[in-house]
Amino acid sequence: MAANDIKRIGILTGGGDCPGINAVIRAVAKTAMFEHGWECFGIEDAFLGLIEDRIRPLTRWDVSNILTRGGTILGTSNKSDPKRFSVGKDNHGNPIFQDVRERAMENARKYKLDAIVVIGGDGTMTCAAGLIPLGLKCIGVPKTIDNDLMHTHVTFGFQTAVETATDALDRLHTTAASHHRIIVVELMGRNAGWLTLHAGIASGSDVILIPEIPYSLDRICDFCRERMQGRKAFTIAAVSEGAKPVGGEQVVDRTIVDSPDPIRLGGIAQVLQRQMEERLAIESRAVVLGHVQRGGTPCAADRVLATRFGHAAAELVARGEFNRLVVIQNGGLTSVPIEEVAEQQRLVSLDSELLTAARAVGTCFGD
């Protein structure tokens, strides 16, 4: 499809919400309207809106004054994969899945959408990849506080989450010092340790546990004892929800059987707090930051990054370069095929310069 054949585009936001989504919607829609004269349609609640025909026009006024707003004006969902869509339960309570991709494509054709800008993480890009063989023309924008999409150095939403988590760790630092306690703080990130690593370093956390480095409880306790014998009678431990002991498993909070990504991690902070308090006989507390890391207004860096991503996505549509994800590599904007990021995660490398720097200043990673 030539650039001058584009008349209408759709925009959807999938997966977990994060700061900066509305800034991307704004940049995509305003570039489309002002620079190219296209009509824009918002698809509500991710691919669920495409499946259920919940698609509405977006005007310039709909996308004005949303740059600083958290969340997403279109709504989102992480349970609406058209290739494996839950349509109910059987007599035993098990979910029944159907492939409803053709229904989604019919609705895209109904609204004469020439392309769809898909804003999301690896799960959302996997959903998009499943529709590409049926003729969907889409452009992806990398969104996740986990910063775990392949082939991009950074995703929008990540820096705001780091600042939120760092602020919380800073506040807990003072109360831990005052009461001479160990405080174990659980952060999000799933199987990737980027958020915990960055917030842990920024806050000066004494212990940082990430999924990529299995930990030894003995090593952590020895480290805490050394601190207590010195002049630091407290410890702050920043722990990723996906952290696990050597030879052990991640702590699973629950399983959502009708979700494309059914495992929900959580509870590692309470487990570690109880174990450390029992072994060390030091009063300890567990704090779970949870969804506060997703909320609130995006920081300035994420507003700028989201605007760059949104504009770049619209320009890829204009050039007819479809089914690609906007990414940042070597400091500049480029794009890669969406299929190359589907069903993958970018993890912290064990030879990361960040790990080396953190170890050099005495941070314990439990190994």
Residue 261 falls in the annotated catalytic set:
no
pLDDT (tens digit, 9 = 90+) per residue, 39-83?
Answer: 999 999 999 999 999 999 999 999 999 999 999 999 998 888 999
Mean pLDDT of 124-132: 93
87 pLDDT more than 70: yes
Q: Which of 146, 148, 206, 302 is catalytic?
A: 146
On whether the CB atoms of residues 288 and 269 are closer than 8 A, the answer is: yes
Q: C-alpha distances in angstroms, 299 versus 47, 65, 156, 163, 329?
A: 27, 15, 10, 8, 21
Q: Which fold does the domain 159-295 belong to in CATH?
A: Rossmann fold (3.40.50)
How much is the pTM?
0.93
On whether the CB atoms of residues 164 and 140 are closer than 8 A, the answer is: no
pLDDT (tens digit, 9 = 90+) per residue, 16-40?
Answer: 899 999 999 999 999 999 999 999 9
Which DSSP string corresponds to 31-59?
IIIIIH--EEEEETTTHHHHHHT-EEEE-
Phi, psi of 221 (to 5 degrees): -65, -40
Mean pLDDT of 118-144: 94
In the prediction, which pLDDT does 360 show?
Answer: 97
Phi, psi of 275 (to 5 degrees): -65, -45
Q: Which of 87-91, 249-253, 324-328 has the highest mean pLDDT?
A: 324-328
Residue boundaries of the structural domains of the chain: 3-156+298-340, 159-295
In the prediction, which pLDDT does 3 show?
Answer: 55
pLDDT (tens digit, 9 = 90+) per residue, 239-272?
Answer: 999 999 999 999 887 877 777 677 888 899 999 9
Has domain 3-156+298-340 been given CATH number 3.40.50.450? yes
Beta bridge partners of 95: 89
